[in-house]
Copies of this chain bind each other. A is one copy, B any other.
């Protein structure tokens, strides 16, 4: 948890820091369900406000000086030692703070949500390890799927196995609902899963990510159950686009350059117009967070960023191909995946 980092970042400029957004609370103290965190930046004293249902868990687990349960009505404390305050919102609780307040909530003090997002984008080693632990669970599912006969299963049967294996293997949840898009359904990047049965000749886009603790993973492979047609060419084009983007990505480069590298390869293969989304995004306590790797991104890649590289080709009425790795940005891009790109 990054409470110390937040304090050192903001203590020169502000007297208090107030966080209210789930992902920022996950990042700061590991409790996405908390109602709010108030830190006295001069002394470092921190108070976490939680629902009374979360009081005991927060007392045990959150690295803060004090935990306070919040209720919206006058009721007596019911747990030993429970400190209970009546308030209908965090704004109400913090309006007594005297001094400069930095907050991720526009209604409270100076909005520093952009700065918090930038801090979150740069991962420390232990955060990268947490992401790798989540990714390991995800990769294990691809290993199992690659040994299975997918033909005849419905997309939802594959999705059901993904959920089951994630949780059995130690995931604390899914980073997002699985995508299992077979045949023509692969043409829609936002498709989830449905009743369609996977057939011979299908390309099946499987985009999944386990969550471990509060950290996410995000990965895609496309299973080719046929070896002919335009999607075969697309598979190789996407594979080359991934390699080009990963070769381009490094500390100090514009994120838009990485997008451009992938896009140029797809253009060479004649697929430019079929790559209808951006090349990647940061991953951390949220599955989509800064930086953005797109044509219009103004972000620069920094050492410590963990981002996806995920070009794709989507042809309506035919299907789709997407390959997605996670990479750690250093002098170059360190690919965190171990699964082959074409499986």
Contacts and interface: CB of A to CB of B under 8 A. Distances in A.
Interface stretch (A112-120, A168-176, A197-205, A333-341): A168-176
Contacts of A264: none
A168 to B, nearest CB: 4
A203 to B, nearest CB: 18
The size bracket of the interface on A is: 35 or more
A174 to B, nearest CB: 8
Contacts of A342: none
Contacts of A56: 187-188, 316
A32 to B, nearest CB: 11
A156 B173 contact: no
Interface in A47-64: 51-54, 56-57
Nearest to A274: B78
A166 B168 CA distance: 16
B276 A52 contact: yes
B192 A277 contact: no
Given A73-B295, A78-B274, A156-B168, 16 more contacts: A33-B190, A52-B276, A53-B277, A54-B190, A56-B187, A56-B316, A57-B190, A57-B191, A72-B296, A75-B295, A79-B276, A159-B167, A160-B163, A160-B167, A163-B167, A173-B177
Contacts of A160: 163-168
Given A177-B173, A296-B72, A296-B73, A276 B53 contact: yes
Nearest to A71: B296
